[in-house]
Amino acid sequence: MYKSHFSVLDTSGSQVIRVGESHLPFGQVPLLLHNGEVTLQTSSGKVASIILDTHNFSDNPSTLSPDQVSLTILKSLSAKLTSIQ
């Protein structure tokens, strides 16, 4: 599943920006997407939920390496920018 952002108001015109990619479990069908949480139907008909990689942030940033902190900040900014446009 790809998360994209469609921007109408951009200096270079309308564009679609790929923000991230999340892999869904095999055999599960997405039913609903809300605030980065995907509700899925399993092959047995039950409902399960996962958080997209673009919305999965660390609860304790002090345990992250500097590279992981930078990546988390970029993911957060991407998610925020897509929610305000």
The domain ranges of the chain are 2-84
What does the DSSP 8-state code read for residue 72? H
pLDDT tens, N- to C-terminus, the chain (85 residues)? 666 556 666 667 777 767 677 788 888 998 988 877 889 999 999 999 988 776 666 666 677 788 877 877 777 776 655 555 4
Whether the CB-CB separation of 23 and 40 falls below 8 Å is answered with: no
State residue 48's pLDDT score: 93
The pLDDT value given to residue 41? 95
Tell me the whole-structure pTM to 2 decimals.
0.54
User: Which amino acid would we find at residue 56?
Assistant: N
